[in-house]
Chain A
């Protein structure tokens, strides 16, 4: 059974720091991995989608890497800002079966001025 773990569960940093959020999964047979952002009481906003054949994806200050063989992905946030404060969720889609996202519990990030 695929399990997705995110570490740390919570993170509080001063503005301007570069951050690394970790996501690990137990079954390496994934189709792709997606990182989402969730603001309190809101829905999920897609940040980056990495296909299993890709090593990384970048969007602005965000960079996500994928090492499928070791079951790990990292989300790198450069020069963090207070507006980055949110919960970050990673989710994987398995190679077999139907198109089902399996989520980690998330990392709650607070960036203070």
Chain B
């Protein structure tokens, strides 16, 4: 079945450590996105990519970095510069805005 796979499901980060969240899709979608979700708030866009080797900052990109070397993959790195990284991270993809978005199952990141 086609879909989006996020891993790991749970991730723990120590202070000063960089961690990378994986997002893989087999939907042949061109565009991919990373959102952050905090309790009681709507999802906020971190980064997006509309084609391979190109990506743009979203609304809350500070302390995060991404790459898009393959169409299927869009990993997100949470750097030590992100001061409040504890949140639920969701990856999404879309073929075209006409068809809407598909989301992955999310990664919960906790600072320990």
Taking CB atoms and an 8 Å cut-off, the chain B residues in 1-53 that contact chain A are: 6, 31, 33, 35, 40-45, 48, 50
Q: Does A4 have its Cβ within 8 Å of any Cβ on chain B?
A: yes
Interchain CA distance A32-B92 in the complex, whole Å: 17
Contact yes or no, B90 A44, CB < 8 A = yes
Interchain CA distance A106-B33 in the complex, whole Å: 20
Count of chain B residues near A, Cβ 8 A: 30
B64-72, B77-85, B102-110: which one contacts chain A?
A: B102-110
Q: CB-nearest residue of chain B relative to A48?
A: B100
Interchain CA distance A46-B4 in the complex, whole Å: 13
Contact yes or no, A4 B42, CB < 8 A = yes
Q: CB-nearest residue of chain A relative to B91?
A: A43
Q: Which residues on B are within 8 Å of A, measured CB to CB?
A: 6, 31, 33, 35, 40-45, 48, 50, 56, 58, 88, 90, 92, 94, 96-106, 108
